[in-house]
Amino acid sequence: MSKWIKPKSTIGIIGGGQLGRMMAFSAKERGYQVGVLDPTPNCPTAQVADWHIQAAYDDTEALLALAEKSDVLTYEFENVDAASIQQVQDNVAVPQGTDLLLITQNRLKEKEFLKNSGIPVATYAKIETIEDLVLQSKTIGFPSVLKTIRGGYDGKGQFVLQQASDIASAATLLEQGTCILEKWVAFQLEVSVMVARNESGATSVFPVSENIHENNILLQSIVPARIPEGLQRNVQQIAETIAHKMNLVGVLGIELFITEQGEIFANELAPRPHNSGHYSIEACTDSQFDMHVRAICGYDLPAVELLRPAVMVNILGEHLERALELNEQKPAWHVHDYGKVAAKRGRKMGHVTILTTDLESTLAEIEETTIWNH
Ligand code: AMP
């Protein structure tokens, strides 16, 4: 890769959802051309990109065409076929490489990588048969959680075991392939942190976000997380270690558990900008998308500063209609609409970011809207 991929060059994005769209906004702001590969017509990214190749992600010819027309390739989700990317690496810069994809596509590899990097993770074991499950349950104990090593997201492909009698039902997950059994962490808080790194090895870490999930889908992020400063720094240090050990180029999201005793366990990695980092668009000196674009284009990374504490709330399909009224009702709230056509239940349609100096009253104000109440 030459030193810089300069503005007016073309960034090709694999995947046309909201993450690609917000990446495209950052890229366009800096004067880049943007192309996207996605099968859906008028997908969120295509609405803001310069051009759109409408084809499946695993369509090798389409990927070659994207590579041909781009100066640098990136992706907005982890389930991109690494082998296809390897095929186009001679034609176009892929600064993120494929190692990161291969690790994050596979929960077992991800856990092994974290453990070997000295990052604390919940005790886990590889499970291929019901006999493995019986045996490992004895060591790991209950509660525990069985997870498929491939393809799971937002709590899909998971089974929580409370007692030995749950083993038979949990074992049905094994039909989907190899799994891991993890000890249940009695966490006090779930947090995440975004880290950016460029090819020269410079890193920049974002503030720690406190995440509240509902039905395993992220509902709300509070930044900075309500944990002591020392713990925040430890979380940020973990992020830097992971970024270096991975030779990360671009932005990576790390989800972690914090226990009441102040222990930290890394849970999951996302090799791209992450939903819990959206607050950075308004609340930080540079957003996670700005940093991703800078990093993959070879530029230096400024230190990120939090301008104001923030709360981000996701707008799912069932919230959309009323959440869009916030544009009239709450002029200071930043309402984002991803431009998706069908507002299905549980589907991420947009988000709202609220900058605040009084977290408690902001949380109360969010509740008063009743949009996110049951
Ligand atoms: P994941 O797909 O690994 O992010 O898991 C989805 C959600 O399940 C997490 O956000 C946690 O709320 C919960 N979870 C997953 N693994 C564990 C664990 N080992 N201990 C406690 N909660 C967990």
Instruction: Label the pairing between strands 264-270 and 209-214.
Output: unpaired
Q: Looking at domain 10-94, which of 3.30.70.260, 3.30.450.20, 3.40.50.20, 3.40.50.720 is its CATH number?
A: 3.40.50.20
Would you kindly state where each structural domain of the chain is located, as residue ranges?
10-94, 123-183, 187-368
Rounded average pLDDT over 298-311: 98
Ligand 1 mean position, distance from CA 65 (Å): 38
Does the pLDDT value for residue 281 go beyond 80? yes
Question: How high is the pLDDT of residue 203?
Answer: 98
Q: How far apart are CA 119 and CA 238, in angstroms?
A: 7
Strand runs labelled E in 198-249: 203-205, 209-214, 217-223
Ligand 1 pocket test, pick from 145, 148, 191, 260 with the greatest ligand atom count within 8 Å of Cβ, gives 145
Where is average pLDDT lowest: 143-152, 175-184, 222-231?
Answer: 143-152
Question: How high is the pLDDT of residue 79?
Answer: 82
Residue 300 buriedness (CB in 10 A; 0-12 / 13-18 / 19+): exposed
In terms of CATH, what superfamily is 123-183? ATP-grasp fold, A domain (3.30.1490.20)
As assigned by CATH, the class of the 187-368 domain is alpha beta
Question: How high is the pLDDT of residue 154?
Answer: 66
**Percentage of the chain lying above the pLDDT 70 cut:** 98
* pLDDT band (50, 70, 90) for residue 58: confident
The number of C-alpha atoms within 13 Å of 33 and in the hemisphere containing its C-beta is 12
Q: How far apart are CA 14 and CA 51, in angstroms?
A: 12
* pLDDT band (50, 70, 90) for residue 2: low
Q: What is the pLDDT of residues 77-106, one digit of tens each?
A: 988 889 999 999 988 999 999 999 999 999
Q: How far apart are CA 303 and CA 191, in angstroms?
A: 21
Ligand 1 mean position, distance from CA 88 (Å): 35
Does the pLDDT value for residue 153 go beyond 60? yes
Ligand 1 mean position, distance from CA 146 (Å): 10
Q: What is the pLDDT of residues 199-253, one digit of tens each?
A: 999 999 999 999 999 988 999 999 999 999 999 999 999 999 999 999 999 999 9
Rounded average pLDDT over 172-192: 97
* pLDDT band (50, 70, 90) for residue 49: very high
- Determine contact, residues 119/139, Cβ cutoff 8 Å: no
- pTM, whole model, 2 decimals? 0.97
Question: How high is the pLDDT of residue 40?
Answer: 97
Question: How high is the pLDDT of residue 107?
Answer: 96
The residues, ordered by sequence, that sit 6+ positions from 289 with a Cβ below 8 Å of its Cβ are: 22, 23, 25, 26, 251, 273, 281
**Which residue's alpha carbon is at the smallest distance from atom 10 of ligand 1?**
216
> What does the DSSP assignment read for 93-116?
B-TTTTHHHHHHT-HHHHHHHHHH
Give me the chain's average pLDDT, please. Answer: 96
